[in-house]
Structure 1
Amino acid sequence: MKRKSIIVLLWVAIGTALFFFLFFTEDKTIDNFMLSFLISSLYSFVLGIGNGVINDYLNKKIPWSQATTRRAIISVVSILIANIILVYVCNYINFVIFQKAATSEEFFSGKYNATNWFMVNIALLISAFLHARGFMEELKKTSKKEVVEQKLIAKSANAQFETLKNQLDPHFLFNSLNVLSSLIDENPKQAQKFTSSMSKIYRYVLEQKDKELVTVEDEIEFAKTYCELLKTRFEDSVDFVFDVRKEDYRKYVVPLSLQLLLENCIKHNFATSSKPLLIRIFSENDDLCIENNLQVREQIKESAGIGLANIVQRYSLLTKRNVFIEKSEDYFKVKLPVLSDKPNDVSIKPEDHDKAYKKAQKRVKEIKGFYANLTSYCIIIPFLIFINLYTQNNYHWFWWPMLGWGVGVASHAFQVFGVGEPWKERKIQEIMNKQKNKDNGNF
């Protein structure tokens, strides 16, 4: 146990000793106070340290955050068994050894059953409160840890995504200038036309580079414009075929993915009038495919692979669906997943912040209300038991408020932590997530 917990137990022992010494001890002497303090310390430290050791051990072996239900069951069983044993040990030491009020035979004969049962109930109530407090502390730590981890993941993913998108500008500009440089010598008029068209294309690049996803329709229109520029340079050496389903036009792909793949087709394959390079862009199942006949060009310098790697990494940040690459002796094909919605396009409005804040406030108020109820129960019920046993031993009326209020506390606990509105919200969210995953799997 921590040093702070030991100090708390010491103060509890001192407070309990003073209480019983001042109100229930007729002969107020130093010896009686020391005996009262010794007995209070016995119960405080044995019960406190015993429950603390059990709680610490269970926290290491079965944390609340990993197996809540299993931990709750094991906690109930362990504290029930441990507190019965600890209370009997404390009572035996108190009545038989310290006060010498009974012999061992009398203690185990049943004479002290009521006292033992009374102390067991008090110990269980206090232990339940301490374990509940431990659960809340663990819950807070886990929640904070998850929030920090999610923020770090979000920042890392965002930084990685921005880095990937920033590769597009120099990559596109470098390849376009190469084409323009070739055209200036071969066909100045076409070079001028190419420059005008390139400015339009680059405007699209600047408009789309900050977006995570764009519609298939926008990407196809851009690709057609880019293909016209390639056709200007290569003429009959390159042919393009577009066969994309109209129903796919309103779906989404990664921006500039087609342009990068078209560049790869030109870069890695030779194209002549006698052996033209045929590039097809078409729909296949739930993918947008870019396929070209394989006419591999000998590479003087090994390719850096920026274009295709860029697309693969950007898709990995947006969806679990993969980019597939097929290669045979005759063709090379890349399959881009077509997404029905924008997974990461989440905009939080100010009113949503207010709703979330009010919801969080309500949740905190519910939890505080439950622990106020539990604390009152742990304080008042032992007091009622003490009054009942002190004033009237024949009729134990304390069972009625203890059981009635106990059922209320248990119901309150289930409502706050398990079977109330939060449970309904969790089930609704769980069903929505399953449906969303199912929809994603049916793209």
Structure 2
Amino acid sequence: MRRKNIIILLWISLGTTLFFFLIFNHEKTFRAFMITMLLSVMYTFVLGVGNGVINEFLNKRFPWSEATRTRAVLSIVSLIIGNFILVYFCNYMNYVVIQKTATAEEFFSPKYGFTNWFMINIALLITAFLHAKGFMEELRKTSRKEVVEQKLIAKSANAQFESLKNQLDPHFLFNSLNVLSSLIDENPGQAQKFTASMSKIYRYVLEQKDKELVTVEDEIEFAKTYCDLLKTRFEDSVDFVFEIRQEDLRRYVVPLSLQLLLENCIKHNFATSSKPLIIRIFSENDTLCIENNLQVREQIKESSGIGLANIVQRYSLLTKKNVFIEKSEDYFKVKLPVLSNKPNIVSIKPENEDLAYERAKKRVKELKSFYGNLTSYCIVIPFLIIINLLTNPKHIWFYFPMFGWGIGVIAHGVSVFAIGKNWEDRKIREILEKQSKR
């Protein structure tokens, strides 16, 4: 047992000793004080350590976060059985062994039945609070751990996505300048036309590079413009065919994905007037396909792999749908998933962090209020039960505050942990999502 728990049990023992000695003990002697102290220490440590051992065992074998239902059932069963045994043991030691006010036969007779029943109920009430507190602490630790993990995942994904998008600018510019360099020597007039078209295309690159998704229509228009540039350079050596369903135009794809795949087609295949490279861009089920006849050229140096790998990674960060690659002796095809809706990507901005902090602060106040209410209930109600049974056992009145206050505690707990919070959380998420899209 931890040192902190031992100190807590000692303070509880001292408190109960003073309480019973000063109020209920008529013989104010040192001997009477020591007997009361001994009994308080025995009850406190036997019940405290016993329930602590049970709770620790269940925490290791059946954690609240992994087996909540099983743990709840086992906690209830072990709480009842364990406290039944522990209370009977303490009472037996008290009345039979230490004070010797009863024999073993008398102790197990109906004469001490009410005393044992009363002590068991008190022990159950206190240990139920301790088990509930343990559950809430475990839940809070698990929630905090999940929040930290999700933040790390989100930051990692965001950093990875930004890194992938930043590859596009230099990659596109480098390839375009290579094409322009070739055209300057071969056809200066076409080089001027290429330069004008390239500026228009690069403007699109700058506009779209910060977006997670763009419409198929925008991407197709950009691809057609880029194909015109390639046509300028390769003339009748390359042919492009577009067959896109009308209903797919308003759906979404990763920006600049077609441009990267078109570059790959040109880069990895040779194209001549006698053997033209035919590139088809068409709709197929829920995918946008880019297919070319296979005319593999010999590579002087190994490919960097930026194009296709970039697309695959960006899709993996946005959706569970996969990019499919098909290759045969005659053709090479890449299938890009087209998405009906944009994923709900909510960026955490500084002002939202302040709002989250305020919500967390308010939540802590609510939890402290509930725990204070529950703690007061667990302390005051046993005290009222003791007063009632000692002063007027024939007239039982402690049921009224016990049930009345108990209903209030239950209602307080429901408002803090369950009903009434879901709609608030949903509304807050909706507001944050709207703000993030502005």
TM-score (norm 1): 0.90
The alpha carbon displacement at 1:229 in A equals: 0.6
Change (3 A) 1:336 1:183: same
- 1:24 to partner: Cα distance: 2.1
Correspondence 1:289-368 to 2 at 5 A: 289-346=289-346, 363-364=363-364, 366-368=366-368
Q: Are 1:153 and 2:153 matched, yes or no?
A: yes
CA deviations 1:194-253 (Å, max 9, x no partner) are: 122112212221222222111212211111111011000100011111111222222211
Task: Tell me, in whole angstroms, the C-alpha distance in 2 between the residues paired with 1:388 and 1:345.
Answer: 60
1: distance between equivalents of 2:327 and 2:363? 55
What amino acid maps onto 2:196 in structure 1? S
- Give the AA of the match of 1:421: G
1:57 paired residue number? 57
Is 28-37 or 90-99 further displaced after alignment?
Answer: 28-37
Aligned residue number for residue 435 of structure 2: none
The structural deviation recorded for 1:17 is 0.9
Aligned counterpart, 2:233: 233
What letter is aligned with 2:233? R
Cα separation, 1, equivalents of 2:240 and 2:19: 94
Moved more, 170-179 or 284-293: 170-179
Taking a change above 3 Å as real, the CA distance of residues 297 and 350 of structure 1, as seen in their structure-2 partners, is closer
For residues 352 and 270 of structure 1, the distance between their equivalents in structure 2, rounded to whole angstroms, comes to 53
Aligned twin of 1:216? 216
1:23-79 Cα distance to aligned partner (Å, 9 max, x none): 222222222211111100001111111111112222222222222222222111111
- The alignment partner of 1:242 has SS state of strand
Per-residue displacement from partner, 1:396-421 (whole Å, max 9, x unpaired)?
44345434544554455455434x22
Three-state SS of the structure 1 residue aligned to 2:108 is helix
**Alignment-derived partner of residue 38 in structure 1:** 38
Change (3 A) 1:203 1:372: same
Q: Which residue of 1 aligns with 2:433?
A: none
Q: Contact 1:417–1:423 at 8 Å: present in 2 too?
A: no
Cα distance change of structure 1 residues 155 and 353 upon mapping to structure 2, 3 Å threshold: closer
In the alignment, residue 15 of structure 1 is paired with which amino acid?
G
Where does 1:40-439 land on structure 2 (aligned, <5 Å)?
Answer: 40-346=40-346, 363-364=363-364, 366-410=366-410, 412-414=412-414, 416-418=416-418, 420-422=419-421
Q: Give me the whole-angstrom Cα distance separating, in 1, the residues matched to 2:9 and 2:88.
A: 20
Contact 1:65 1:138 in 2 (8 A): yes
Distance 1:2 1:326 in 2: 62
2: CA distance between counterparts of 1:242 and 1:332? Answer: 16
Alignment-mate amino acid for residue 54 of structure 1: I
Give distance in 1, aligned partners of 2:72 and 2:318. 38
Who is 2:26 aligned against? 26
Letter in 2 for 1:97: V
Q: For 1:425 and 1:117, locate their aligned partners in 2 and report how far apart those are by CA, in whole Å.
A: 44
Inter-partner Cα distance in structure 1 for 2:401 and 2:312: 66
Percent sequence identity over matched residues? 76
Q: Which residue of structure 1 aligns with residue 436 of structure 2? A: none
Q: 1:59 to 1:37 in 2, by over 3 A?
A: same
The residue identity in structure 2 corresponding to 1:155 is: K
Distance 2:285 2:321 in 1: 13
Unaligned runs of at least 5 residues, structure 2: 431-438
Decide whether aligned partners of structure 1 residues 117 and 404 sit closer, same or farther in structure 2, where only a CA change above 3 A counts.
farther
Task: Tell me the equivalent position of 1:15.
Answer: 15
TM-superposed deviation, 1:300: 2.5
Distance 1:185 1:25 in 2: 111
C-alpha contact 1:318 1:344 (8 A) present in aligned 2:
no
Paired AA for residue 247 in structure 2: E
| Comparing 357-366 and 191-200, the one that deviates more | 357-366
The one-letter amino acid paired with 2:200 is: K
**Aligned partners of 1:83 and 1:120 also within 8 Å:** yes
Whole-angstrom distance in 1 between the partners of 2:118 and 2:366:
31
Counterpart residue type for residue 223 of structure 2: A
Find the aligned partners of 2:407 and 2:335 in 1 and give their Cα distance: 60
1:311-349 alpha-carbon deviations (Å, 9 max, x no partner): 000100011000011112221111111112221533578
Secondary structure in structure 2 of the residue aligned to 1:231: helix
State the distance in 2 between where 1:353 and 1:33 align.
56
Give, in whole Å, the separation in 2 of the partners of 1:32 and 1:226: 98
Counterparts of 1:344 and 1:409, CA distance in 2: 38
Structure 1 segments unaligned to the other structure (5+ residues): 433-443
- Using the TM superposition, name which of 274-283 and 195-204 deviates more: 195-204
User: Partners in 2 of 1:2 and 1:200 — Cα distance?
Assistant: 71
- Return the alpha-carbon distance in structure 1 between the equivalents of residues 128 and 254 of structure 2: 54
**For this pair of structures, how many residues does the alignment match?**
428
**TM-score, with structure 2 as normaliser:** 0.91
- Report the 3-state secondary structure (helix = DSSP H, G, I; strand = E; otherwise coil) of the residue aligned with 1:229: helix
Between the aligned partners of 2:268 and 2:24, the Cα distance in structure 1 is: 96
Q: Aligned letter for 1:160?
A: Q
